[in-house]
Every structure is written in structure tokens, then in C-alpha cells.
Structure 1
């Protein structure tokens, strides 16, 4: 009963936090979708609600009445086994249902979950509830970064809030951490929540390496920009160079050169770049090219996990040199939840750590984030290894 109550409290606070994130928005902001990778805030609010309805209420709450039969089609994201859905690039066309109706849907489902937990404390149900909570936390991170992209592509560059600080300097001195060659264990092994892609725990052999205890700063990255890093093919993968040329990339996302000085769009609006904060909004292509320019490389995700005890992390998602692949013995869940991670294990790179936008009590040292190499709307940065 204590576990049920704790999960209920976490569930309710998580639901509230999603709505708190949206509180500074104007009603017009809720529907905008500038690119396929960015979903409208209204869709995030609906999708996270649909998840609880689809995977908990429909199978576990007797006589549950679905709020709206069309909402599965509207708010299903990528679950092929659940049914048809609006294609991702069309989410911004959903002027209906209204924002007001989506909030009513959230209240309806949240109240139904409270009723469900009052009647049922089945272990499988509680496990699904915990997954649903962390699923919504994942979307809170996406929600905040999507809002930044939406507002950051508005010609007026409006501020989301003047009381939110996304920048933090690392005050410690830069140093190289030496790790001896040897066999190390990787993966989640605690009796706490994790996603299935963090399992199973296994051994890897690592050669001797060094890893920086600090993230690369804006000042360091600006040196790469000024040295012609974006015009020198020698530092780039062929695919990365094609991406630079095709998209005319010459700086990190949100950087603006104004009258000879660099500024960046932040959630507080346009700000002068702080040279001492970690650089962010880089693609893997850019992180790799910078490392090549410095005569270093990116760490593998295993090198990062072994060394993480020696440096602070969580301010920026950190690109690694590792492809997103299953661990030995990996098994997908049966049914629709088996689509959560496994089917994305191709053509993507692993990121480790967390970011300014990551909700509390969500990330951990074994957490494996993953994105395609060209994506950079998240708070993505890098640390060097050699």
C-alpha cells in the first residue's frame, strides 16, 4: 500500500509538472510544429495522457469509458500494434481538439488513475504506472526543448520565461582522468527503475584511456568556428560534411552573429553567449568534427559510464562514439510496450548524462538516450577523450 501511495504521489506531481511547463505559453503556441522532429505542446499533453489510458485504464479499470474514441488515432505516437495514427509531420495540423479539451482529457484520465489505484495494487499495474510516469518525464524534457525550438524559430525570438536559467558554469579546473585498461561491468544492476535498454548488465574490455572532467565550453567551441571548422572537410565524416553543405551550417543551433558579436537564443530570449558555460545544441557530426580538430575523440558510452564517478554530469546530454545497440541478452517486452526502445536500435548514436531540461529523479548513470546524428534541438554537448 505504501508503494502504491508513493507512486500515486509521484504520478500526480508528474502530471502537474507537465502543465506547469506549459503555463507560460500563449494559446497560439500550443499547436505550432516547425519541423517533423518537434511536436506541438498540445500533442505532448495529449499523448502522455493517452499512454495511461491505453496501457493502464483500458485493460485494468473495469467498465472504464474511453474519453474520446478518436484520441487514440490523434495521440498514438509510434505504436504499430495499437492501431492507426496521425503521421508525425501532421501533428501541427491538429487545430482540434482544442487546448481546453486536451486539458479536460488530462483531468479525466488523471482522476480515473486515482480510482484505479484505489481498487487495484497489482504488481504488473504498478510497474506499468512507473513506466508511464517516466514516459511522461521523457516528454517533459521534449516538451521544454520543443517549446524552445518553436519560440526560437519565431522571427521575434520571444522569451519563454525571464525566471528560468538554462546556463550553468562548471567551476572546477579542467583535468584529464586516466582509466586503466581492464574488464568493467556495464548496465543497470540496482533494484530501482530503469528502461529495458539499460539491461542486461555485462562485461566489456576497455583499453587505457583518458577522459576530460569538463564539458567543452562556448569559448572553446567558438575557437573551432573562428578557425574555419565548418569550412574544413578534413574534420568531418562524409555524411556530416554533406549535412553541413546541404543545410549551410556554420555554428551551433540558436547561435546568431549580430554586428560581429555572437548571441544565442535561450528560454529567456536572445542573450550574449557566455563563454564559460558548456556549449549545447550540437549534432553528433559537429561534436565529432570538434574532437577531430582538437586531436581527440568522443568517449564510447562504456568509457563514459566507467569514468562518470570522477566528474559532474547532467548539465548537457553528451554525445558518445557508440552506436545505439542492444546489450547482450536484451529482450523486448511483449506487445506494444516492446516497441518502446528496441525498434529504434539502428542508425542512432548514444548520448549519456542528462540536461538542464531533464526532470528530477529521471536520469541515472546507466541511462541511454539516443538520437540520429544530425539532430541538435536537445541540450546536446560533448566532453573529449583520448
Structure 2
């Protein structure tokens, strides 16, 4: 547990970074919600503020006056324990409260939090504060990917900013890295922050396996497309094949073929595909099919973590073959914060690593992200194993 003074600085830094992400936006961008999985930027600004108001200020500051009684209903995400909320699909209908009012709300809560932290040294408060800070960092990543989806589905494909670079990663001479069969320890094992789904460090037995030192590139994935990878039912799960057929999927998200040339939309605008860059915005279905096409497979999350302790990997969220399940001795927290991870441990695949949108001081090799198998608006990529 870091000190209260350091946590206060961390809190302020995190709050400022969220607003910095929103600076390039036009006012009209703040309320758009193209699909249910994407939340409007204004909602992210409000929800990350509500978290501190609901779980810290209302609990630990008896003199605190709630900013607006309606905001818990508007900005609660999925916490059944807390009460009623706007359904997720309706977040884009919130033309009110105004963007200005939401920023007023943020500053009101940030100031109240700063005052409280200057007075209160309560250990429980510090623990919840640290969760809240990392919760906001999670939303910073979601905010960037949601902004990309909003602008990437605008017919004009507008540029977000030149400051955010979806950079090319260092590509190494391709090779397979082998690990011998044996017992490996998995899970978080330090006093640094982690989410509860990383806890329950335990031993797993792994058979001999090999894992690629590189992520699959755009050039390699383009070969898959040109080899009719999206037309070969034999390399897809049945559910994945249905998804391809029903949604007419022919390429990764944000790929556009114009006059026979493949382009990619990024937050810097529309450009020709960088063939050497890692392919991204891939569903689990696509990652699995590509691995089948190459005569390989996806690594389990345990295989990924056992290697990651030796190498600094994970610059795209990487699909694994592991279902999102609790570790041994996992126990949900009491109350509303117990809804944070455990309730989602069904019908989802684990992703490991981080992404170009992951904020600083948030990534670690035991981090377990998770999404449904058809989703691809995050910066998801492919690493092969065999």
C-alpha cells in the first residue's frame, strides 16, 4: 500500500489524464454511441467520477453533499447493489446533463476527494482509492478505443489527434521460444496493486510447448485473407463461422479496401496498412481461425504468463485459449465492489498483455483482461503457440 500523499498525487494525475484524452474532441463527439459496447466519452467522464463519489465520499466524508441526486442513476454502470441505472444501450441518449455540467461534476468531486485525503488516513479508504484510480485507468483505455470506434464509424473518418501514435512495435527475427514441461507458478505475488481476479497464486503443470517471439503482422494476416481464410469453414469454430457469415466479415475491424489497396483507420486518420505492424482489432474467432490456418494454436493464459516473466511482451491485448475463470481460493469482496470482476467469469476468453491505449502505471504481466469472443474494438492481437 503506497502512502496517502503519493496516492493523492496519483489520483490527481489520473483525473487530469482522463480529461487530456478528451481535449481533441468536438462537443458533438461526447454523446455518440454507435453500438452497445461503446460508451459515449461524456459517460466515461461521469462514471469515473461517480465511482469516487459513491464508494469513497458518501462513505468516508459525512459532510459531503452529493452533486446531483440523479447522477447515480445516470452514471452507475452495472452495480446492482447500488441501485437503478440507465441501461447500457441508452447511454447515447443522454443529451443531458450537458458536457459542461459533467465537467463541473468532475471538478466538484476531485476537489472534495483532495480535501478528504488531506484529512483522512483511513486504510480502508486508501484501498478503495487505489481501486478507483486503476478503475479510471481502465476507463482511459476504454475511452480511447471508444473514441476510435466513434470516429472510425463517422463516414468522414476524421482524425482524432497526431499526438496519439499507434506505433509499430519492434519486430525481432522470428523464432519459437520453447519451455520445458514442469510446474509453474501463476498469479500476482507482490504488494503492488492488482485486481482480485489476479489473486490466488497457484501452481500449474505445463507440457512442453513453444511460443512465437513476435505478434502476427498485418502482412502475415493479409496472406490469410488472400488465401481465402474468411471463406474456409474448416478452420473456424462453428459459432465463429456463423459470425463471419451473418456479419459479412472479410477483414479486421477498421480495414478498408479501396481500389484494390488495403487501408487502415487509426486515430491519426486513414492510411495504407503498415505491413510490418502487428495486426490488431481481431476477434477471438479470427485469432483462432488464423492459428488453425498456420497449423498452430493460441497459448493458454498460463503458458503466456510463464514466458512473460522472462520477456517484456504484451503491447497488444493478446487472445489466449483460456476461459475467464476464478483462480483457486478466489473470493469476491463483500458489497458492491464484489461485482467488479467475479460476476463476469462466464462465456469470456482471457486476454493478456496491454495495448497502445493502456495508460502508464497500469500494466503488469499478471493482468487478466477478458472479453466475449466476437468483440474486436479493443487493440487485440495474435501470438501463436504450438
**TM-score class, shorter:** over 0.9
Counterpart CA distance in 1 for 2:33 and 2:333 is 31
Q: Structure 1: state its 5+ residue gaps.
A: none
Residue 63 of structure 1: aligned partner: 63
Residue 266 of structure 2 corresponds to residue 266 of structure 1: yes
Distance 1:205-1:231 versus aligned 2 partners, 3 A rule: same
Partner of 1:36: 36
Q: Is the 8 A contact 1:187 1:366 kept in 2?
A: yes
Task: Report the equivalent of 2:110.
Answer: 110
Secondary structure class of the residue paired with 1:256: strand
- Asked if structure 2 preserves the Cα contact closer than 8 Å seen for 1:40 and 1:91, the reply is yes
Give the 5 Å matches for 1:56-95: 56-95=56-95
Q: What's the offset of the Cα at 1:170?
A: 2.1
Partner of 2:292 in structure 1? 292
Unaligned runs of 5+ in 2: none
Report the equivalent of 2:4: 4
Shift of 1:2: 7.6
1:201 maps to which residue? 201
Hey, what does 2:237 align to over in structure 1?
A: 237
3-state SS in 1 of match to 2:178 = strand
Deviations along 1:312-358, whole A, 9 cap, x unmatched?
32320000000000000000000000000000000000000000000
Aligned partners of 1:171, 1:220: CA distance in 2, in Å? 13
Q: Distance in 2 between matches of 1:36 and 1:25?
A: 20
Equivalence for 2:327: 327
Structure 1's consecutive aligned runs of 4 or more residues displaced over 4 angstroms after TM superposition are none
Superposition TM-score, scaled by structure 1 size: 0.99
- Matched with 1:101 is 101
Instruction: Provide Cα deviations, 1:270-329, integer angstroms capped at 9, x if missing partner.
Output: 011000010000000000000000000000000000011344323200000000000000
1:21 maps to 21
What is the root-mean-square deviation of aligned Cα atoms in Å?
1.0
Q: How many Å apart are 1:208 and its aligned residue?
A: 0.3
CA contact 2:171–2:214 (8 Å) conserved in 1: no
Q: Equivalent residue of 1:220, what SS?
A: helix
- State the aligned residue count: 386
- Partner secondary structure for residue 211 of structure 1: strand
Equivalent residue, structure 2, for 1:149 = 149
With 334-343 and 171-180 compared, the bigger mean Cα shift is at: 171-180
Q: Distance in 2 between matches of 1:81 and 1:128?
A: 16
1:215 aligned partner: 215
1:306 to 2:301 alignment: no
1:350-386: CA deviation from partner (whole Å, max 9, x where unpaired)? 0000000000110100000000000000000010000
